[in-house]
Structure 1
Amino acid sequence: MSSISHLPVALQGRILVAGAGVSGLSIAKMLSELHCDVVVADDNETARHMLIEIVDVVDISTAEAQAQLDTFSIVVTSPGWRPTSPLLVDAATQGLEVIGDVELAWRLDQAGVFGTPHTWLAVTGTNGKTTTTSMLAAMMNEGDFSAKAVGNIGIPVSEALVAKNRIDVLVAELSSFQLHWAPTFVPDAGVVLNLAEDHIDWHGSMREYALAKTKVLKGNIAIIGADDPYLVELTAEAGISDLVGFTVREPQHGQLGVAAGELVDNAYGNALALASADGINPAGPAGVLDALAAAAVARAQGVAPEAIARALDSFEVAGHRGQVVAEAQGVQFIDNSKATNPHAADSALAGYDSVIWIVGGQLKGADISSLVKQHQHRIKAALVLGVDRGEIVEALTQFAPDAGVFVTDTADPQQAMSEIVAEAFRISTAGDTVLLAPAAASLDMFKGMGQRGDLFAHSVVGTIEGQTEEKG
């Protein structure tokens, strides 16, 4: 790597890193290895002490950092820190530039610090980011590129940039937080999958959240979900032209879509078939859209249809994103615990005809009524848990009156999930899908959406094994 004299000017002075968590550690480690003068600020002393055991940097409290702001040349913040954080507000007021980890990595890469600048393929949106990013990385590798999923999945961007075996293509899953703090970031290709209300408390408004997401569209290749009316309207208002769209419908010129059961490229080719739409994992429209989004980026990079087909054929979905946990007596059990808002649950429900729906948790102010109304014809029963169960039951009663409703008010997460799964086994018949797609956050009962999905899978598998032993 280059010496400090080859770094951008702002990084040659004293650098303040805001946050001593995972992102802060990654930032501090990369800057330290570049021989920068780094100070890490956080009010969590335990986190600070853990960080300095790994990286040789100075650690201070946020109050100390505020008192020393005139000694810093730039602030690099962990992405989760809000713009309203007093330290960041004071820094901006004093004229200090505040950037995030992605912006830092981008600037260093563009400056040639890690050799020839890498190819950046950015994936964002409200739902489907991880699946699309993973699919795209697989497609790029099948196309003989050296690619890696980075950012919110895989490895941190900073680690990918300094990898011993060079990674040429960074397939980066990026959050709205990371993009907020990335003012000059311009990827080689960027895709926005969809937009729905999320993290509004952090950004202040839906528009600010959406504008952060659409930063990935500033590059030469800009791709959007053409079935998302708000996203289409927003990009039109912003004057973003030369867009490539993807749709579950037959693609128009400049789009990828579905025709005669095939994923079809009508943007970079003349209605060129890429792969069969059947068997896409995860199942349902959401999985097809993710595959189309990934294919749109891959095709822009010159990946052949055959490589895209191979990647999709061997693709395995990440945990809690539409995994088939088990199948018993003609009933499928699907873990989509990652569906933490109504928009994600909408995509999950759309893939099945007769659903026993496990729903509930923290709605965070989201309205679930329209979701229930839209899918009332496919909801055979709803099994409800979590802090906002009353609101969910009310919506079911009003908009899906024919659906059976089972409610648990048990606070213990394992017991609650066991009750839910037991009821699912009791009422399900061949052809049903038992779908965990909660449409709500998990932290009211669980350590996270991962634990929620794990407990669901454990209960399902345990019940099936118990039934087998009884028959034996």
Structure 2
Amino acid sequence: MGSRKVTSSESSDWQGKHVTVAGLGVSGIPAAKVLHGLGARVTVVNDGDDARAREQAAGLEELGVTVRLGDGATLPEGTELIVTAPGWKPDKPLFVAAAAAGVPVWGDVELAWRLRGPDAAPWLAVTGTNGKTTTVQMLASILKAAGLRTAAVGNIGVSLLDAVLGDEEYDVLAVELSSYQLHWAPSLRAHSAAVLNLAPDHLDWHGSMEAYAADKGRIYEGNRVACVYNAADKATEDLVREADVEEGCRAIGFTLGTPGPSQLGVVEGILVDRAFVENRQKNAQELAEVSDVTPPAPHNIANALAAAALARAFGVPAGAVRDGLRAFTPDAHRIAHVADVDGVAYVDDSKATNTHAAQASLAAYESIVWIAGGLAKGATFDELVAQSAKRLRGVVLIGADRALIREALTRHAPEVPVVDLDRTDTGAMLAAVQEARRLATAGDTVLLAPACASMDMFANYNKRGDAFAEAVRELGAGA
């Protein structure tokens, strides 16, 4: 990691301060190193005590950081601040003890926000149940097309501490934030921010849908220019109404329909802006064509509109929106077209790990053989199946919780043929693709959009998507 010169006043703020870092890993280790470098007395606590944790601990101990493995529950004596990995649940005993002792808890995002220099780049922030990574990457592509120095950072994998403290200078940062990160970031104040959508997810962590939504809504607090919301998702607009923002900050909607004033939307295949134009009651600015967005699925057009709204809030010209969207290529396993075999398209959306994401994916195609199943994480499937039934030519079910989807299909799509593969081994994907081929006819789309997590069968959704793509390639080779 690069090292921005820390001012003497910043160093004095931390000198000798006893900070406990909760959790080793992608956020904990950088946080511990940064705090140690600022002169803090750092203790890292970690639940695990395996070989990897011991290796990580040894590296920190060489620097002079104290590490306690196998004991993430006890508050170290004298702790003045906890900096936590975002995934640690708020009800952990460590945090209960901290609250009782009046010790504040920050996440690594909060730490990065507090350590920004006086001329730091503003943040354009994005959250939502689905679409965050794609939207942030689109936003970064648009900002780059406008000639701005930027990076896609945060929950996307690039540490905000690296971005804030590194040698690279930025004009603006495109920041993806999860509900976990927002929960632990009380003083974050973005230039502008967007909540893309809200659907039940991570409720085991947050405790309720209300708490989950409230943490998402923190992204709007103190916004200076624009709070971007989804006009089709009233819950996101409600969060804007509840936010305490700076004077003059505007609510900006995005819609797949014709936009009203202070909205971005779609008119006859054109993405248009009626928010950041002169006389928005009467005028609209063309930004790009739907065909400039890859893939041009409805939910991805919504992502593009949200990214465009944030870029326009930062003053980016219309031409850069078009150029940035044209230059953008989505990550793997997000509605990725794998191949056509015998006139049937095979599409990998393994990233659709919950029902909300799967619904968006299923809405993008007219006639589908759906491969679904995995770990349901407490989800129910009736609404998803009822909304998608008319598009389903057939369904192939895999994974531990496939019975939940099968029961919803029986209730809401009884005419749709279903193949229930009673398997959770990784080889089941090849069998699933073969069964899907048998159900499909020319013009159909075989869609892997599992609506479930992957860990019952695969290490992660990437491995699941890779297995699907490999199975499709085998089909093609034998065609």
Question: Post-superposition shift, 1:465?
Answer: 1.6
* Equivalent residue number for residue 263 of structure 1: 271
Q: Which blocks of at least 5 consecutive residues in structure 1 are unaligned?
A: 468-472
* Equivalent residue number for residue 434 of structure 1: 446
1:39 to 18, 40, 43: 43
- Give the 3-state SS of the residue equivalent to 1:361 in structure 2: coil
Distance 1:61 1:155 in 2: 26
Residues 90 and 331 (structure 1 numbering): CA distance in 2 closer, same or farther, change over 3 Å?
same
- Give the 3-state SS of the residue equivalent to 1:45 in structure 2: coil
- Give the 3-state SS of the residue equivalent to 1:380 in structure 2: strand
* Equivalent residue number for residue 79 of structure 1: 86
Which 10-residue stretch deviates more, 60-69 or 415-424?
60-69
Paired letter, 2:261: H
Distance 2:92 2:8 in 1: 30
Question: Post-superposition shift, 1:230?
Answer: 2.4
- Give the 3-state SS of the residue equivalent to 1:409 in structure 2: coil
Question: Post-superposition shift, 1:302?
Answer: 1.2
Paired letter, 1:66: T
Q: Percent identity?
A: 44
Residues 310 and 101 (structure 1 numbering): CA distance in 2 closer, same or farther, change over 3 Å?
same
Q: Which blocks of at least 5 consecutive residues in structure 2 are unaligned?
A: 278-282
Question: Post-superposition shift, 1:12?
Answer: 5.4
Which 10-residue stretch deviates more, 295-304 or 440-449?
440-449
1:144 to 143, 147, 152: 147
| Aligned counterparts, 1:27-426, within 5 A | 27-46=31-50, 47-55=52-60, 56=63, 57-61=65-69, 63=71, 66=74, 68-69=76-77, 71-109=78-116, 112=117, 116-218=119-221, 219-220=223-224, 221-236=226-241, 242-269=250-277, 270-413=283-426, 415-426=427-438
Distance 2:33 2:412 in 1: 53
Residues 102 and 460 (structure 1 numbering): CA distance in 2 closer, same or farther, change over 3 Å?
same
Paired letter, 1:59: V
Distance 1:75 1:205 in 2: 24
- Give the 3-state SS of the residue equivalent to 2:295 in structure 1: coil
Residues 59 and 239 (structure 1 numbering): CA distance in 2 closer, same or farther, change over 3 Å?
closer
Distance 2:314 2:12 in 1: 29
Distance 1:164 1:252 in 2: 43
Question: Post-superposition shift, 1:67?
Answer: 5.6
- Give the 3-state SS of the residue equivalent to 2:215 in structure 1: helix
Distance 2:420 2:75 in 1: 53
* Equivalent residue number for residue 20 of structure 1: 24
Distance 2:326 2:363 in 1: 22
Question: Post-superposition shift, 1:43?
Answer: 3.0
* CA-to-aligned-CA distance 1:135-186 (integer Å, 9 cap, x gap): 0010011111111011122411111123333233221111100000011111
Which 10-residue stretch deviates more, 123-132 or 328-337?
328-337
Paired letter, 1:233: D
Question: Post-superposition shift, 1:101?
Answer: 0.4
* Equivalent residue number for residue 470 of structure 1: none
Paired letter, 1:440: C
Which 10-residue stretch deviates more, 402-411 or 202-211?
402-411
Paired letter, 1:226: A
Return the TM-score normalized by structure 2.
Answer: 0.92
* Equivalent residue number for residue 478 of structure 2: 466
Question: Post-superposition shift, 1:313?
Answer: 1.2
- Give the 3-state SS of the residue equivalent to 1:366 in structure 2: coil
Residues 6 and 41 (structure 1 numbering): CA distance in 2 closer, same or farther, change over 3 Å?
same
Report the RMSD for the aligned CA atoms in angstroms: 1.9
* Equivalent residue number for residue 452 of structure 1: 464
Residues 421 and 64 (structure 1 numbering): CA distance in 2 closer, same or farther, change over 3 Å?
closer
8 A Cα contact 1:62 1:87, kept in partner: no
Distance 2:111 2:193 in 1: 18
Which 10-residue stretch deviates more, 18-27 or 176-185?
18-27
* CA-to-aligned-CA distance 1:98-154 (integer Å, 9 cap, x gap): 110000000111xx2xx5222111110000001001000100111111110111224
Distance 1:183 1:408 in 2: 46
Distance 1:310 1:30 in 2: 37
Distance 1:442 1:230 in 2: 28
- Give the 3-state SS of the residue equivalent to 1:135 in structure 2: helix
Paired letter, 1:34: L
- Equivalent pairs counted in the alignment come to 461
Residues 64 and 438 (structure 1 numbering): CA distance in 2 closer, same or farther, change over 3 Å?
closer
Question: Post-superposition shift, 1:372?
Answer: 0.8
Question: Post-superposition shift, 1:405?
Answer: 0.8
Which 10-residue stretch deviates more, 300-309 or 39-48?
39-48
Paired letter, 1:88: F
Residues 168 and 404 (structure 1 numbering): CA distance in 2 closer, same or farther, change over 3 Å?
same
